[in-house]
Chains A and B, each alone.
Chain A
Amino acid sequence: MNPVVGIAAFVAVSLATAAFGFYGLRISRTTGDFYVASRTVRPWWNASAIGGEYLSAASFLGVAGLILLSGTDALWFPVGYTAGYLMLLLFVAAPLRRSGAYTIPDFTEARLDSRAARRVTSLVVVMVGWLYIVPQLHGAALAIRITTGLPAWVGQVAVVAVVCFTVIAGGMRSITFVQAFQYWLKLTALAVPILFILFMLASNGTPAAADAAVNPTGAPAAGPYQTISLLVALLFGTLGLPHVLVRFYTNPDGQSARRTTLIVLGLLSVFYLLPTAYGLTGRTFAPGLAQSGQADALVLLLPGRMVGGMAGDLLSALVVAGAFAAFLSTTSGLVVSLAGVISQDLLGGSVRGFRWAALISALVPLGIASMTDSLALAGSVGLVFAFTASTICPVLLLGIWWRGLTDAGAIAGMVTGGVLCGGAMVAGSVLGAAGTPSWLALPAAWTVPAAFAVMVLVSRATRDRVPRTITRLMTRLHTPERPLATER
């Protein structure tokens, strides 16, 4: 592939992101007759922003790669990623918006009336965030290596540099518009090339190179345990993602938070059709990519391979731009929310503190990413979901829906879930890919119930620690709020 294409695409996306961030809101109103109603974030905008922030490297590159490798088994990933929002819609979106807490640690502190629970949650949130940024950087490394031939670290450093610059220089002030733009960019970047390829294939009548029903690497199909465990991780993991939850505060009230989630479900469903199409096309027409271990790069390579020439270069440029939009949007969303947590809990919440925290939140994962190697993006992100599902998700669900949760129970449950899931991840890395039994490779099916169980049991044992303000708090979480004074 022409290296200029990759670099040009990356620069264009970075500039567009920065421009949207800095100038998205510079349109001042000079007249006094402004109406606040016309200025609230509409659910459509906010839903696009959530989509933009949520669709990470795993969705953009990983899902297609995994479908190329293991076919229908991999379809559970997009299903799980999307269905997680159904859980969010049903159980979390509106009450969390009404709580008035802005971050997950804020929520636990307000709900459990405990500084200790807050600290533990902060620690978990920061760990989740870091672990989630790492695959984004691996994706960036892969994209840069494939498209330009430059060393892998260039991609990671470039993404971190752009994110740090925009966040620290205040470019995330109109974050909603930046992220909404990224969603539509990602959608276009996948849709246009695949439609082009499909039309071309249909008109040429190119014969299939392989049978789509057979795994190109001959990998065995997943058993029921793997599927269930994966689904548990993805369904419950979405509930606790720090950068996703923050978006809901942009909604003016709980009802519009629900409406936003509904639109997000639609947007994600549409989006995930595309990686699936890429995966299927890859299985049928380019199975060689799987055998050469380049499955994650399928989306990046397919347009060039299938179309070729000038048109191929242009389509590749579009896909690369979309990929970088995915890395940048998810990373910057995570960095902003992590920086919020770190600066509030460690640095006193000042503006300077926020900048330092942003730097820390971006540089630590850069260090981890540069020391490790990327293998399977969708799988790595799946593990982060498992970790979130075993730690933050139980606190949120029980905190919102069960009066009996106590601070001791919450801490015990989070530590149990974190240690079990983290232990499984460590054991997996010690044993290596081949030696890991599937119950260790996909731990969510037992770590999530364990965390819930410990949380409930310890809470029952420490019943006298239920905060006295519980009734007021629960009322606030579950009753509709007064509408904003947005219309006359």
Chain B
Amino acid sequence: MPDSPLFTAAAVAVIAMAIAVVVAVGLQVLRSFRELGTDAEQATYKTLHAASRAGQHLRTGLNPAGAAKASRQLRSLLGSDALAITDTAGVLAWDGAGEDLKPVLMELAAGVLDGGHTAVIPAGEVQELLHGTGAVAARPEVERAAVIAPIRAGTRVVGVVAAFAPSAGAGLVRATSEVADWVAAQVELAELDASRTLLMEAEVRALRAQISPHFIYNSLNAIASFINTDPVRARELVVEFADFTRYSFRRHGDFTTLAEELRCIDRYLLLERARFGDRVQVSLRIAPEVLSTVIPFLSLQPLVENAVRHGLEAKEGPGHISITANDSGAYAEVTIEDDGVGMDPEQLRSVLAGHSDGDHVGLRNVDTRLRQVYGEDNGLVIETAPGEGTLITMRVPKSQPRHDA
């Protein structure tokens, strides 16, 4: 058993991997030794590098994890003994020596947080305060002065940057306030990021399709016509209508499963058939593997409604809609095809691009949502021509651990 071919196969694989790792590391090392440049260039590079590294960590705003990593970079930038970042409530990060000063930092920073001006606190004063709290009995070997600069986001002071060094020279004071301003810029960027995310979420929510008023009006009329002639059917239709509206008006969640969406389409078609009779024929071919795929809420129903309203309503004689859902690798592929009047591709393109408000806003709505949720490559694919019917294809990744149905 041990001499199996698998050993040889594994050996080849492991050796290939080892070679790849060695080559990759080698290239990395080589690259770092190349083109070091003059001292001034190097200094500039180092400063910018430290700043950009720190910037990455602050990109999520002022929080302990990001501040801790950023403070390391910023302390090397300032060359001070210690550097601390706080928000308005407490110390977020402390890097470097003299951590015994940590308990009094908020007290030292109180004035800066209120006034919004950089403060320099001489070494003696810092020590006095420390003794006053009784936190430390013995004097430390090095006494340090503190430079505390406010982080100003807009008009608010959201925290301070504090640098500690044996003596607080003018250079350190200026550098510290510059660093604080730079941190402020990052924090503002982070806030901007957060509000952009909020905006996108709001947009997605706003785009969440509404059922069309035409449909409500038409359905109620169709039901009304059955009340005298076929009261049992009228009652069933009213129940279907109620179920349909309950689904479409639900408030929770932006996602649903393909199975639930298909059920909604079933109710929708039942109501449409009350109006159109046998003119609407529907066939389905759904692979059971994809029924539990998560899709955006009400993303298929508008497509079917589009097929009924714009494909079949305008057409003479019976029309046929076929809905399929297939397993396609890591994606689920849903197609909706009708043999109705079709659309002009140019006009459709301009509707999808948002240039004109044609009859197909439902399509644009779904397309935009799909692109926002799954990326630009995953919009609707629509094949159509006047008189040739329409085929709409939607591809959704099966794996969506972040989306709750």
Contact = CB atoms under 8 A, between A and B. Distances in A.
Interface string B221-263: 0000000000000000000000000000000000001011011
B65 to A, nearest CB: 6
B397 A349 contact: yes
A426 B404 contact: no
Contacts of A482: 405
Interface stretch (B9-17, B142-150, B152-160, B359-367): B9-17
Contacts of B5: 134, 138, 368-369, 372-375, 380
Interface in A21-62: 25-34, 36, 39-41
Interface in B1-60: 1-15
Contacts of A441: 1-2
A422 interface: yes
A426 B8 CA distance: 7
Nearest to B378: A349
A408 interface: no
Interface string A452-488: 0000000000001000000000001000011011100
Given A32-B282, A375-B1, A425 B10 contact: yes
Interface in B261-287: 262-263, 266, 269-270, 273, 281-287
A209 interface: no
B286 A39 contact: yes
Interface residues of A, number: 86
Interface in B294-328: 294, 322, 326-328
A426 B288 contact: no
B68 to A, nearest CB: 8
Given A41-B289, A349-B330, A484-B257, A106 B3 contact: no
A426 B259 contact: no
A30 B269 CA distance: 13
Given A100-B294, A106-B401, A433-B1, A36 B6 contact: no
A351 interface: yes
A204 to B, nearest CB: 35
B329 A28 contact: no
B400 interface: yes
A343 B329 contact: yes
B398 interface: yes
Contacts of B15: 426
A36 B259 contact: yes
B191 to A, nearest CB: 18
A426 to B, nearest CB: 4
B240 to A, nearest CB: 10
Given A32-B270, A39-B286, A349-B330, A464 B259 contact: no
A360 B403 CA distance: 31
A235 B291 CA distance: 31
Contacts of B182: none
Nearest to A374: B5
A256 to B, nearest CB: 10
Given A100-B399, A379-B1, A436-B2, A372 B282 contact: no
Contacts of A41: 288-289
Contacts of B404: 100, 476
B401 A175 contact: no
Nearest to A343: B329
Contact of A250 (B7, B259, B288, B326): B288
A429 interface: yes
Chain A CB within 10 Å, residue with most, of B10, B286, B399, B404 = B10
A384 interface: yes
A153 B384 CA distance: 48
Contacts of B270: 32-33
Nearest to A464: B65
B299 to A, nearest CB: 16
B291 A40 contact: yes
A340 B283 contact: no
Contact of B3 (A28, A100, A428): A428
A423 B15 CA distance: 10
A32 B266 contact: yes
A485 B398 contact: no
A372 B8 contact: yes
B2 A433 contact: yes
A354 B328 contact: yes
Interface string A423-437: 101101111110010
11 contacts: A29-B284, A30-B282, A99-B401, A375-B1, A375-B3, A383-B10, A428-B2, A429-B10, A433-B1, A433-B3, A485-B263
4 tightest A-B CB contacts, nearest first: A372-B5, A429-B7, A102-B399, A379-B1
Interface of B: 1-15, 65, 257, 259-260, 262-263, 266, 269-270, 273, 281-289, 291-292, 294, 322, 326-331, 377, 397-405
Given A130-B9, A429-B2, 7 more contacts: A32-B269, A34-B266, A131-B13, A134-B9, A174-B287, A343-B329, A429-B3
